[in-house]
Amino acid sequence: MSLNCKDLLGLEHLDKKDLQTVLDSVKPFKSLFTMSVKKAPTLIGKTVANLFYEPSTRTRTSFEIAAKRLSADVVNMSIDTSSVAKGESLIDTGKTLEAMKVDYIIIRHSLSGAPDILARNLNASIINAGDGFHEHPTQGLLDLYTIYEKKKKIEGLKVLLVGDILHSRVAKSNIWALTKMGAEVTVAGPPTLIPTNIEDLGVKVYYNLDEAVKKVDVINILRIQLERQKENLFPSVHEYIEFYQLTKERLAIAKPDVLIMHPGPMNRGVEISSYVADSSNSVINEQVTNGVAVRMAVLYLLSPKRKKNASSD
């Protein structure tokens, strides 16, 4: 099995078959986690570089663990102490890594499209670890896998994404993946945090969270990204909490077996109450565990496909 591509830049360009290929590939890697030696020789002799221009706990660490469990060598670039601080361009940084025969570059960047620039200029496989408001494909895949593992299907499920849809690359990747796999996706949040054309992606919009939480199978709660907001997009955090926090009371009117998800990092007491985050419905820690297995699968599935000649445009 493999994905028919050198890079993973987003889920928009994967079809249902590709997404199913990822889902089908994860389990053998996850089964390694309960063994005393959690390693496979899949990527022995390969080198993976983590190039994170924005902070990360889960994604960076889980890519490192995933690559090491596949026996790859891993380099964690420290942007603050690298030549990026002296003004080196993204492409020159990428070409420098490639000159050292790096096989994969995992990139997180505040600029939407930064991974695409590297992908078009390098032979290495480029994996998008989150770019601006655009996509966070491995988060979308691990969310998809967690739902699939728990509910045994995706087709026909009702999935609600709550909160800051406008600034969320996680929301975009979830919407692409879930709608292609046949889920019914709804988004809910303040009108100012819902993109105006979001219905074009095949999702329904609710502004009333009490209405939205009823009858859904999954609620994926998104972080309020205050650092990306250039203006105040809701009156106050207090009002956001009143209308859009997933509380014990709102959980009580949802289905008893609803899955509660959050990509992290959580703002406990803002978009999600501690009661809900730690409830038996919550699969937030399982999302993190699955993140390692899903990233192992992605590294494996991209490995046989290498572009021979990168373009220089």
Nearer to ligand CP, 57 or 285 (CB): 57
Q: Is 120 in the site for ligand CP (CB under 6 A)?
A: no
Q: Is 151 in the site for ligand CP (CB under 6 A)?
A: no
Nearer to ligand CP, 98 or 283 (CB): 283
Looking at residues 48 to 87 of the shown chain, list those that interact with ligand CP (rule: CB under 6 A).
Answer: 56-59
Give the nearest distance from C-beta 280 to ligand CP in angstroms: 22
Nearer to ligand CP, 63 or 244 (CB): 63
CB contact at 8 A, 183 and 243: no
Alpha-carbon torsion angle 230, 108, 305, 28, nearest 10? -110
Give the nearest distance from C-beta 263 to ligand CP in angstroms: 4
With CB under 6 A as the contact rule, which of the stretches 6-14, 186-194, 234-242, 258-266 interacts with ligand CP? 258-266
Nearer to ligand CP, 136 or 180 (CB): 136
Give the nearest distance from C-beta 130 to ligand CP in angstroms: 6
Binding mask 219-248 for ligand CP (x = CB under 6 A): ------------------------------
Nearer to ligand CP, 125 or 174 (CB): 174
Q: Is 158 in the site for ligand CP (CB under 6 A)?
A: no
| The binder of ligand CP chosen from 207, 264, 279, 310 (CB under 6 A) | 264
Nearer to ligand CP, 121 or 296 (CB): 296
Total residues contacting ligand CP (rule CB under 6 A)? 10
Give the nearest distance from C-beta 59 to ligand CP in angstroms: 3
Nearer to ligand CP, 180 or 223 (CB): 223
| The binder of ligand CP chosen from 121, 134, 263, 292 (CB under 6 A) | 263
Question: Which of 242, 257, 166, 174 shows the shortest CA–CA distance to 209?
Answer: 242
Q: 3-state SS of the chain?
A: CCCCCCCECCCCCCCHHHHHHHHHHHHHHHHHHHCCCCCCCCCCCCEEEEEECCCCCHHHHHHHHHHHHCCCEEEECCHHHCHHHHCCCHHHHHHHHHHCCCCEEEEEECCCCHHHHHHHHCCCEEEEEEECCCECHHHHHHHHHHHHHHHCCCCCCEEEEECCCCCCHHHHHHHHHHHHCCCEEEEECCHHHCCCCHHHHCCEEECCHHHHHCCCCEEEECCCCHHHCCCCCCCCHHHHHHHHCECHHHHHCCCCCCEEECCCCCCECCCECHHHHCCCCECHHHHHHHHHHHHHHHHHHHCCCCCCCCCCC
With CB under 6 A as the contact rule, which of the stretches 91-99, 197-205, 259-267, 278-286 interacts with ligand CP? 259-267
Q: Is 110 in the site for ligand CP (CB under 6 A)?
A: no
Residue written as tokens 């002296």? Answer: 86
> How far apart (Å, rounded) are the C-alpha atoms in residues 311 and 121?
6
Nearer to ligand CP, 130 or 190 (CB): 130
> How far apart (Å, rounded) are the C-alpha atoms in residues 189 and 156?
23
Q: Is 273 in the site for ligand CP (CB under 6 A)?
A: no
Q: Is 191 in the site for ligand CP (CB under 6 A)?
A: no
Nearer to ligand CP, 56 or 123 (CB): 56
Question: Which residues of the shown chain bind ligand CP in the complex (CB under 6 A)?
Answer: 56-59, 130, 136, 139, 263-265
